[in-house]
Structure 1
């Protein structure tokens, strides 16, 4: 186990002051995998299990500020029906461990990134349940009254769609090193087809199978939405579109996606479920699918560019090279198939 770079005795005293579980027990910490932006540590005090989340040792101010936003968001979700790892305590000051951090309840569940466990690997009906639960989580998040939860000023919902294209093109311009066919075509379509009206809500920002956990066994039940690094007040329908990137039109892909979504519900079934739970219409879902493909391609290109420049050695990032091209091409192809509605 890698050395823990802070005073665990000080952490224990602080946990006691916050009435955290395991009072008086010396904390035992173990590094966890999962999440790319922050450090995750399994925290044991006697028989109690918690998870501590904090910026990595080389984190810059932006990363630290992002974690502070996570703390605010998770605190706001307390008492809602949104599945999440419940907040136990947080130190925003950074005085205890040298950086802000928070402690949450450990989630007893599994992540789809390692593949489907039994019976979801072989039972088509069980696999359908996973998709409905994924969409259910997005719908529950979308219906949270964010103003009543103290999230005024958490994001800039006014003009959200007006900013998307220029913001992410500027982001791409900081590291762009190759041509991305279809990028400008999809961008122009997005500019011309922005929703005339939308209802702001909490948006996870990277909502997909990789960022949720499920309870063990059947029926499939969402245990927690995790990794809130990109959360904001924006348009929750973009989360829904992000979750549907494994679908080619109406039907789930038979192959080529990072998890096996074959046998899952049709897009129409999932849209109807989302509408029923969230109360939001999904008539303009094609716009959001163009934006989701396009934006994810831009975001992943940053990691791939870093790999090409020798700034990262993560072998998983190699797959982003062709994936980015596919996402951008998908955005452009879908845009070509749709009418242009507005200037």
Structure 2
């Protein structure tokens, strides 16, 4: 496994050539970043984040950081909350693998715990959830054609391509029997809704892919982790974030209600209220959200199985990748229950 570090001298030389200046560079590995690696990069008064492709991608299409940079660069002037992209590099001699550089945003993702300033503020906790829906609506309102993202993917027939696309990805790394995957895939194809007009979609939209203000009032400052972005059906994004809704009893919740450091139990907007807020902001028809609610955990199960397969093949020492196997099973169980009407 390659070391999670950077050669400061090599990176500094690249920065000097790309951006000008000659000040020394200091880098530090950061936690988070999803499947990619992220580093703090400081030079004089400037502070950036470097996002580098992982040592081993789970598939040939995953973790394309140069594509991710191109998307951010295309929408940097739109009304959307992102870290400002600075530059990208495909030369592996600079940092070991391709990477891009973006402005540092002093914010906090919501995983197990909320920002400390929100701990005793029901108003700010509710505001954090509505802010995350508002930021999603802004993404879906981007004029992606005017931004030059017409080549990002086929906009027509997006939903019809999803099941074959994700099944093909799974077949590229499947290491164990997962019969529920095939059963759910058949249901999805048989119950395909009429898709929404295409928009820019984030592809992995959830509370821990947003950076929230450290102080009150709660604000969603930036949406990060754009590696799965595409032009497609916006309700896929909406249903995806609802998988992680912090309602009490949701095993996949981020900032789980009632848990230490999590959201307060009785003060949150419900998933249904968040859907209404989104529909009001965008004017979109959400009457067939039931299909998307099945598709999203099924898709997430396939995504996580990619990392779990790396563990099974001995290509990853990350202990969370072993845990992803159980998460895959739980997600497929959830999707099955939704089909059978045993869950909401």
In structure 1, the partner of 2:6 is 4
In structure 2, the partner of 1:341 is none
Note the alpha carbon deviations across 1:120-174, whole angstroms, 9 max, x for none. Answer: 3344333222211221121110110100000011112222111111221222223
Distance of aligned partners of 1:326 and 1:38 in 2 relative to their CA distance in 1, 3 Å threshold: closer
Q: Does 1:314 align with 2:293?
A: no
| Root mean square deviation of aligned Cα | 2.7
Distance of aligned partners of 1:302 and 1:209 in 2 relative to their CA distance in 1, 3 Å threshold: same
Following TM superposition, by how much is the alpha carbon of 1:216 offset from its aligned partner in structure 2, in angstroms?
1.2
- The answer on whether the counterparts of 1:55 and 1:64 sit within 8 Å (CA) in structure 2 is no
Distance of aligned partners of 1:216 and 1:7 in 2 relative to their CA distance in 1, 3 Å threshold: same
Segments of 5+ residues of structure 1 without an aligned counterpart are 18-22, 339-343
Number of aligned residue pairs: 330
Following TM superposition, by how much is the alpha carbon of 1:94 offset from its aligned partner in structure 2, in angstroms?
6.6
Alignment of 1:218-297 (within 5 A): 218-247=216-245, 252-262=247-257, 263=265, 264-297=268-301
Alignment of 1:127-206 (within 5 A): 127-180=125-178, 182-206=180-204
- Shifted more, 188-197 versus 136-145: the winner is 188-197
- Shifted more, 164-173 versus 96-105: the winner is 96-105
Distance of aligned partners of 1:308 and 1:57 in 2 relative to their CA distance in 1, 3 Å threshold: closer
Give the Cα–Cα distance (whole angstroms) in 2 for the partners of residues 81 and 205 of structure 1: 18
Distance of aligned partners of 1:279 and 1:183 in 2 relative to their CA distance in 1, 3 Å threshold: same
- The answer on whether the counterparts of 1:110 and 1:216 sit within 8 Å (CA) in structure 2 is yes
Give the Cα–Cα distance (whole angstroms) in 2 for the partners of residues 177 and 102 of structure 1: 32
Distance of aligned partners of 1:92 and 1:292 in 2 relative to their CA distance in 1, 3 Å threshold: same
Following TM superposition, by how much is the alpha carbon of 1:277 offset from its aligned partner in structure 2, in angstroms?
2.3
Give the Cα–Cα distance (whole angstroms) in 2 for the partners of residues 323 and 255 of structure 1: 13
In structure 1, the partner of 2:262 is none
Give the Cα–Cα distance (whole angstroms) in 2 for the partners of residues 282 and 36 of structure 1: 29
Paired residue secondary structure (2:292):
helix
Give the Cα–Cα distance (whole angstroms) in 2 for the partners of residues 2 and 161 of structure 1: 37
Segments of 5+ residues of structure 2 without an aligned counterpart are 258-264
> TM-score, normalised on structure 2?
0.86
Distance of aligned partners of 1:16 and 1:61 in 2 relative to their CA distance in 1, 3 Å threshold: farther
